[in-house]
Amino acid sequence: MARKKQSPDRPEVPLYFGLSPNQVVAFNLAQARLLRGWTQEQAAEALEPHVGSRWSKATFSAAERSVDGERVRQFDADEIVAFARAFDLPVSWFFLPPPPWAGPGVPAKLQTPASGRFGEPLALLADLVFGDDHHEAQMAMRLSAFFDRLGPNPMSDAQQRVVNMVATKKAELVRTSVTDLEGWQTSLRSLANQLEDLAARATRAANRELGGKG
């Protein structure tokens, strides 16, 4: 947590409450458990088949308390995938931004080695999780290539939804491209008409000038 200096008779006041990506995962782990209405013991039981061992209640509690910053658990990719399967939520859930205010007058910010003194907006996480239009196009093409190579193997419902999403995205890209092309064609026709009109005016002016000289 970054702090700013106060006068000697006053305590330091935090500039912001900094959250690392691991602390964001810890926050969302607790939110996933509350969403399911599970105790920490029930959540540990659901998680066991996916992590290969049973978390104790103390381990689960410590993982959730990582958000407070005392001892931050370093979650790995295997654990986050296990969370997604145990709680039946997408991996992206565990990187969603927490509320932007940690307390009265104390904003919550994303804290990474590149954040600098003042941290970064938590909304940056949403951009990193969902990407922009350019990223969506790249994801669609990547997923399309994967499913093209999947062959005749039956797809899960979730995979079928992704295929449908990719197909929709492809259609949208084609529609956008065609619309852009039609716009360019209209602009080029307009430009050609203007050039033709200018050429005709220049020809008439030249003819008048020659006629006057004759």
Q: What is the pLDDT of residues 124-168, one digit of tens each?
A: 998 998 888 788 888 888 877 887 787 766 667 766 666 676 666
For residues 68 and 121, membership in a common domain is answered with yes
Choosing from 128, 157, 179, the residue where a domain stops is 128
Residues 79 and 75: their CA atoms lie apart, in Å, by 6
For the chain, report the end-to-end CA distance as a whole number of angstroms: 90
- Encode pLDDT of 179-206 as tens digits: 766 777 777 777 777 777 777 777 777 6
Q: 11 and 67: one domain? A: yes
Q: Are residues 145 and 105 in the same domain?
A: no
Domain range for 193 is 131-214
Domain ends where: 91, 106, 128? 128
The model's pTM: 0.67
Burial of residue 33 (CB within 10 Å: 0-12, 13-18, 19+) is: buried
In this structure, the answer to whether residues 212 and 176 fall within a common structural domain is yes
* Number of domains comprising the chain: 2
